[in-house]
Amino acid sequence: MPKNPRLYPNWLIAPPASHDATIGPRRSYLATKRAFDIVFTLMIAPFALAIVGVLALLIRLDGEKAFFRQPRLGKEGRVFHLWKLRTMVPDAERRLQEYLDANPVARLEWDRTQKLQNDPRVTTLGKYLRKYSADELPQLLNVFLGDMSLVGPRPMLPEQRPHYPGSAYFALRPGITGLWQISERNMSTFAQRAIYDTRYAGIMSIGTDLSILSRTIFVVLRGTGF
């Protein structure tokens, strides 16, 4: 159960419905959800492309590529390549390992959340892109291709699988935003994401998705990402 129930309307913390009683409606919902993903992505594509184009030019000022692809686990454990704007230095993995080896406290933070508040890999521009989640905009391509959905569990790295104690993630398409994104987000452990994924799997509906999308706008404007 989420630690802060006050953050949610009642339907977000209600017990999941019986699976047998929702097979028909769930199939209809999934078809509608996919259609909504495609239509919404096409509608905002011109606006998103303009923003991504400007940001890509700024990122390229350091002489390195503006985009990068990263393998992530998708529905039913299938690996796909997630697109992002680059927010890190080119030798990011080496810097991370050196930093964790030299900082035991940072190592504990990384093991707990799989993130660092003071990440030595992140560029100056990258900090702002992450703060307002602008680096995620290229994932609209993943949504259009069917690798992801607008709303769902955040996609995990293959090596993070051992840290994930649930199974709901693998029944769903990963999302650009989701229940975890509008709740504790960076304040929770990586393992606690399974709680949100399971909760979302039990309450999925178009109404749920629209509520999460609308709440995401306020989360982004507050700049809670890192």
| Residue 104, in any domain of the structure | no
Is position 34 within any domain?
Answer: yes
Q: What is the mean pLDDT of residues 141-165?
A: 94
pLDDT at position 109: 86
Give dist(CA 194, CA 4) in Å, integer. Answer: 16
pTM (two decimals)? 0.81
Q: Using CA atoms, how far apart are residues 22 and 18, in angstroms rounded to an integer?
A: 7
Number of structural domains, the chain? 1
Is 100 within a domain?
Answer: no
Whole-number Å distance between alpha carbons of 68 and 121:
14
Query: CB of 186 within 8 A of CB of 224?
Result: yes
Tell me if 97 is assigned to some domain: no
pLDDT at 58: 95
What's the rounded mean pLDDT across residues 210-217?
A: 93
Work out the pLDDT band at 3, boundaries 50, 70, 90: very low
In a domain, 111, yes or no: no
Q: Is the pLDDT of residue 16 over 70?
A: no
Please check whether residue 93 lies inside any domain of the structure: no
Tokens representing residue 127 in the block:
């900090």
Could you tell me if residue 99 is inside a domain? Answer: no
pLDDT recorded at residue 9: 44
**Structural domain includes residue 105:** no
Domain, as residue range, for 173: 5-87+122-221
| 29-52 pLDDT tens trace | 999 999 999 999 999 999 999 999
